[in-house]
Chain A
Amino acid sequence: MNSFLKNNSYSKLEWTLMKSSFSLIWLLSFLLIISRYNYAPTPESIFKLLPGGFYLCFNAKIFLLITNLLLIYFYIIEKHIWWSLMGLSLISLFAFSLEDSNSDFNRNTMITGVFFAQFIAYSIKKKYIDFDVDKYRIQFSVQLISISYTISAIAKLNTSGLKWITDGLLMPLQIMKTNYFGFVNDGNLEHITNANHIINLVDKYSLGVMFVLAFTLIIELFAVISIINKKYAFVYGLLLVFMHIGFYLVLDVAIAGTYIPMLIFMINPVFIFWIILKALKNYLITALGSNGKANTF
């Protein structure tokens, strides 16, 4: 575990697992969007540029799906990767703009952004053969992810200043709103009970809430230091995980389009799981081996 962090380069397996996890998340998001939306009733992003009404017919959806599957396949097997990444970036831009144009703002900017960041890395490699694309296709993704957090903190400071921390005592109104959304979705009164419970806690521990908000702001603001090296990215990734868990527990908000790309490119949980499995296998082989010897004697 320690050796994989000490080494500031990325193995082929790490990259393959990152790509595969990311592709899976992208494919699921894509399927969800094309199964849900045909129109762009409140046009956003590229849909603002399209004149007149927009309608995504069934045949167009099938064409997009097949193209997307092919591009994902080429992306994972690392064939025609420059073209694959260009295609994936554009389809991602289209799909998430369609989602936004249905007032379904899931903040998936990082997914499109990561495809574009990797496309930039391969574009540089295409022009300059000595460019270390094995490292920078991931480092560029980390750049995109970390700057998004830092921008978010700067935007908070720009809008509210340091008052954001003390204004956090008005958070119960947001807690009430987000939990009410939950109730409205499924009619389960548990969401309202949960909201009241958290609001009581916020009122009771207001100083603690301000401390947590200050901590959140600092973590977000300095997220950009994750670009220094792989170890920084990993440690910072863990801090961001704590922050997201806090957001989920208090506000009932989990922004998958943000924390999943962060998890994949800064922590790479599937690779960690693989390291643990490998270590466990080695341990069992050693243990069984020594037992075997003992039996022989």
Chain B
Amino acid sequence: MVKQILFKTKTIVVIFIYLIGLLIFGEVHPFSEFPMYNSFANWSYAFYITDDNDSLIPCRKLNTRGVNLGHSFYAICNERNIEYGDGLESIDDLNKVGFEMMRIVLNKPENKNIKNKKLKLWRNYYYYKNDSIIHKKLLIYESNME
């Protein structure tokens, strides 16, 4: 009986198992509904880190990537139930999230010997207004390294 069902459904059995897994576990590796670019919202964020002179420190030098800074922002907001997007976070929330983001970067063993006195974490906020892209930058956290 089991064999008959298995052999008859063999061309779709993995699809079936994957869908059941996705329904039960949701967005948990290795199940995913690939949520990136599911919608095109009228906002986007990019994050970057500068030194005390407000000059960009390339993420490579900090052993991270721009996309990782973005992902950690969303992961921390989700974990702390902070609503995000379209510039609606409070300064206080941004500061807390910024602290966590910077902690993740600085906790990397390769970043133990950073020489900068200060590291600043910025958020770029892009949105459309009257067919033009508006760009707002905001300092969300400042880390004193001394």
Contact = CB atoms under 8 A, between A and B. Distances in A.
Interface of A: 36, 38-39, 41-42, 44-46, 92-93, 96-97, 100, 102-105, 107-110, 112-113, 116-117, 120, 124, 128, 131, 136, 139-140, 143-144, 146-148, 151-152, 154-156, 158-160, 164, 167-174, 176-178, 180-187, 199, 224, 227, 251, 258
Nearest to B103: A41
Contacts of A187: 56, 58
B30 A104 contact: no
Interface string B11-24: 11111011100100
The secondary-structure label for the interface of chain A is helix
A158 B38 CA distance: 9
A41 B107 contact: yes
A173 B43 contact: yes
28 contacts: A38-B109, A41-B104, A45-B29, A93-B29, A97-B29, A100-B29, A102-B104, A113-B18, A116-B30, A120-B14, A120-B17, A139-B10, A143-B13, A144-B18, A147-B18, A147-B19, A151-B32, A156-B39, A168-B40, A173-B128, A173-B133, A174-B44, A178-B67, A181-B70, A184-B47, A184-B48, A187-B56, A227-B15
Nearest to A199: B133
B28 A44 contact: yes
B126 A177 contact: yes
Contacts of B42: 170, 173
B72 interface: yes
SS of B interface (majority): mixed
Interface of B: 3, 6-7, 10-15, 17-19, 22, 28-48, 56, 58-60, 63, 65-72, 74-76, 79, 103-104, 107, 109, 124, 126-128, 133
B76 A227 contact: no
B39 A109 contact: no
Contacts of A124: 6, 10
B120 to A, nearest CB: 13
Nearest to B131: A203
B30 A177 contact: no
Contacts, number: 179
Contacts of A100: 29
Contacts of B47: 184
A103 B36 CA distance: 14
Given A93-B29, A136-B10, A170-B42, 20 more contacts: A42-B79, A93-B30, A96-B30, A107-B32, A107-B34, A120-B13, A140-B13, A147-B19, A151-B32, A151-B33, A155-B33, A155-B34, A155-B35, A160-B38, A164-B40, A169-B40, A174-B44, A184-B69, A187-B56, A227-B12
Contacts of B75: 42, 44, 103
Residue in A171, A185, A258 whose Cβ sees the most chain B Cβ within 10 Å:
A185
Contacts of B6: 124, 128
A224 B145 CA distance: 53
B71 A104 contact: yes
Contacts of B70: 177, 181
